[in-house]
Amino acid sequence: MTHEKILDLIHQAQAQLAFSYAPYSGFLVGAALLTKDGKVFTGCNIENAAFTPGNCAERTAFFKAISEGVHDFQAICIVGGTGGKLSSYTPPCGVCRQVMMEFCSPDTFEIILAVSPEDYKVYLLKDLLPFGFGPGSLKDG
Ligand code: THU
């Protein structure tokens, strides 16, 4: 992916912090999910007074895309921090990694963790979820 595209995803993820609904943790998260044909679905975390119904920013982005019939993804950018201040990388939680495993190739799907346009890291899904259980695991052989 080009550096320019990465910067665009970082900006779109950062813009989502304004929509994050996180009154309980105070930890704001934004995500920007890039499809294989170049479209971007964004997401923020959405908490709940009953706690467990809360949703991470990454899954918000995935579920928006899936609900519109899009299933082919290249990359996701994630930013987060207390009060929306980005001071370290925000790696995806285990549940979000498993959702990625459902729809993305572990060998090619890129996960961009950013603190700023100048400070980011790119991982492959297989690095963050080694030996993952996915749709292929349910097939014979
Ligand atoms: N959160 C995300 O949205 N994505 C992550 O990758 C890590 C955690 C949210 C969930 C919750 O609203 C808040 O951050 C604190 O855990």
pLDDT along the chain (141 residues), means of 10: 96 98 98 98 98 98 98 98 98 98 98 98 98 94 63
Give me the pLDDT at residue 140, please: 75
Asked whether 78 lines ligand 1 (CB < 6 A), one says: yes
Give me the pLDDT at residue 46, please: 98
Active site residue 58: yes
Asked whether 14 lines ligand 1 (CB < 6 A), one says: no
CA distance 25 to 56: 12
Give me the pLDDT at residue 141, please: 63
How far does residue 29's CA lie from ligand 1's centre (Å)? 6
How far does residue 137's CA lie from ligand 1's centre (Å)? 28
How far does residue 45's CA lie from ligand 1's centre (Å)? 6
Q: Which long-range contacts (CB under 8 A, 24 or more apart) does 100-104 make?
A: 100/58, 100/62, 100/76, 100/125, 100/129, 101/125, 101/129, 101/132, 101/133, 101/134, 102/134, 102/135, 103/62, 103/66, 103/71, 103/73, 104/73
From 42, 45, 99, the mutation candidate for ligand 1 (largest count of ligand atoms within 8 A of CB) is 45
Give me the pLDDT at residue 137, please: 96
CA distance 72 to 70: 6
Q: Which of 117, 116, 41 is nearest to 74 (CA)?
A: 41
CA 60, 14, 79 angle in degrees (round to 5)? 70
